[in-house]
Structure 1
C-alpha cells in the first residue's frame, strides 16, 4: 500500500498522486442563496432560492523551466425557476468555469478575462458587477511577466466568440463546430501592476476587434490593519456604445464615456466583517451594495446583503436583499 504524501512545495492542501511526482489539490464549496428581487433587473419581484456545488482541481509539478500547473473548475447550480416552460423542467445548470494550463509565465485555456482579473475584481460583495467592469470566462493565451518585486506586466489574446460568416462545418473535426473560412477572433488585453501586499496599483486596457472599440481601467487599493478600500475607474472609447471591455450595466445601457467603482471593508473580529460598494456611470446608472460576513466556525460563511440600483436612462430603480450560506473546503 502506498501512503499519500503531503506536497508542500506549492502551498497548503496539495498531496502527491500515488506513484507520480505530480501534486493534486481538491477544493470547492457548497452554497445556498435565498433572496428577494434581483439587483440586476429593473422588473424583478418575488423570492428566489439557488443551490450550488463548486468543485476545483489543481495539479502542479516541477520542471526545469518552472512549475507546470493546471486548473479545472466546474459549477452545478439548481434553481427551480431556471426553466418553467415545460413539465420536465431543466432546473440544473452545469458550467465549466476554468480549464487552463500555466507554465513559465504562460497561461492557455479557459479563465476569466485578464481585463477583469489582472488588476483585481471589484469589492467583496455578491452584486459587484451590476455595472459591469469587464468580461469573465473565455478562452485565451496569456503571458505574464513577474519581476519578483511586486511588479507584473501582462499581454493576452482572447477569443471574442464571434463567428463572422455563415459557412460553418463540423465534419472531420470530431463534431466540433469550426468556421468554414478564416475570420478574425482575437481581442487584445495588456496591463501593468504593482502590488506590495498592502498597496496595489494597476492599469489595464482591452481592444474589442469586432466593435473596433475598447476601454481602459485603473485601480488602486490598500489594506490598513482591519480596514481595506479600493477605487476603480474605467474609460470607454465610444460612450454611445457598449463593447466587450466597456459592457455597460445589467440592463444593457452603456457606461457613457466613463464608469467608477469604489468600496471599503472593515474586519471587526476574526469572525465578523462588513463591506460596502458604490458604482456610477456617465449615463447615471447608480448601484450600491452592503453586507455583513459572519464566520461562526472555520469554513462556514453566513452573509446577508442588501442592494439598490437606479437606472436614470429608463427611469427605474430596484431594491434587493439576500442571504448566503456557504461551506468552503
Structure 2
C-alpha cells in the first residue's frame, strides 16, 4: 500500500514538472548594482569620481557679503555706505593620462552691485597638462610670486594684470627650484587696458602683433623662498621686473616684495 502511494505521488510530481515546462518561464529581472560615489584623493581634497568614468570632479564656491564705510581705492571721497554681495561657483576636473593629469578649471562669479544690478563674469577657464596651461587665468606676473600676499585690498597698489588668456609652461625640478614662461594677451583682461609696469589707457591696439612675454624663476629651501619675475608688454614696448622674498617662521610668516 505504501509502495502504491509512493508511485502515485511520483507520477503526480512528474506531471506537475511537465506542466511547468509547457508554460513560458517567468524570470525576474536582476537588480542593477548600485555604484556609490568614490572619493578621488589623488588630486587633493574634495575630488570624487564621476560615476561610470575615471574622471574626478570637484565642485566648490563661496558667498560673500560686505558693508563698508570707507573706499580704499578713493580715500578722499565720501560715498557713504557701500554694500556688496558676491557669489562664486568653481568646477574642477582631473583625469589621469600617460602625460600626467589632464585638468580643467572654471570659476564663474556674480556680483550684486549698487544700483540693483547683477554683473556676471567668467573669472577663470583653462586646461592644463604636463606643466602646460592654456586659457584664462591670472597673469603669471602676479600669480607666480604669490600675488601681493594675504592682505585686504591687495590691488590698491597696481601690481600687474590679472585675468587674461595665456599659454604657460610651469617647471618644477622637485628640489625647490621652479620656473615659468608665459605668452599672454593683455588685451583680454577685464578692461583690456592693463600692462605689467603700470596701469595705462589707450584705444590704439593696431600694433598688437606679438603676445606679451612673462618669465620667472624661484627657489625655496626650508623656511626661506625667493622668486623673481619679469613681464614685457608688446603694445607699449615696455617691461617691468619684481621680486619677492618669503620667510615662514611657523607661528607667523613674512614677505618683502619690490
TM-score past 0.5 threshold: yes
Partner of 1:15: 48
Give the match's secondary structure for 1:161. Answer: helix
CA deviations 1:181-220 (Å, max 9, x no partner) are 9951410000001134632110000001100101000100
Aligned mates of 1:210, 1:43 — CA distance in 2: 33
Q: Displacement, 1:126?
A: 2.0
Higher RCO structure (Cα 8 Å, ≥6 apart): 1
Q: Give the length in aligned residue pairs.
A: 207
Long gaps (5+) in structure 1: 82-88, 163-180, 234-329
Higher radius of gyration, 1 or 2: 2
CA deviations 1:39-64 (Å, max 9, x no partner) are 11144321101111111111011111
Aligned mates of 2:222, 2:181 — CA distance in 1: 22
Partner of 2:65: 32
Conserved 8 A contact 1:160-1:185: no
**Residue 66, structure 1, aligned to residue 92, structure 2:** no
Conserved 8 A contact 1:161-1:185: no
Q: Which moved more, 1:182-191 or 1:107-116?
A: 182-191
Give the match's secondary structure for 1:116. Answer: helix
Partner of 1:77: 111
Inter-CA distance 225–213: structure 2 relative to 1 (3 Å threshold):
same
Partner of 1:137: 163
User: RMSD in angstroms over aligned alpha carbons?
Assistant: 1.7
Q: Which moved more, 1:214-223 or 1:193-202?
A: 193-202
Inter-CA distance 18–126: structure 2 relative to 1 (3 Å threshold):
same
Inter-CA distance 124–183: structure 2 relative to 1 (3 Å threshold):
closer
Partner of 2:119: 93
Partner of 2:246: 221
Aligned mates of 2:164, 2:152 — CA distance in 1: 21
Aligned mates of 2:227, 2:143 — CA distance in 1: 11
Greater percentage in helix: 2
Inter-CA distance 182–221: structure 2 relative to 1 (3 Å threshold):
closer
Q: Displacement, 1:80?
A: 2.4
Conserved 8 A contact 2:208-2:235: no
Aligned mates of 1:207, 1:122 — CA distance in 2: 20
Partner of 1:204: 229
Partner of 2:74: 41
Conserved 8 A contact 2:161-2:186: no
Inter-CA distance 53–25: structure 2 relative to 1 (3 Å threshold):
same
Long gaps (5+) in structure 2: 1-33, 189-205
Partner of 2:151: 125
- Correspondences of 1:1-329 after superposition (within 5 Å): 1-45=34-78, 46-81=80-115, 91-161=117-187, 183-196=208-221, 198-233=223-258
TM-score by length of 1: 0.60
Aligned mates of 1:144, 1:125 — CA distance in 2: 26
Conserved 8 A contact 2:245-2:255: yes
Conserved 8 A contact 1:151-1:194: yes
Q: Displacement, 1:68?
A: 0.6
Aligned mates of 1:44, 1:70 — CA distance in 2: 42
Aligned mates of 2:222, 2:82 — CA distance in 1: 39
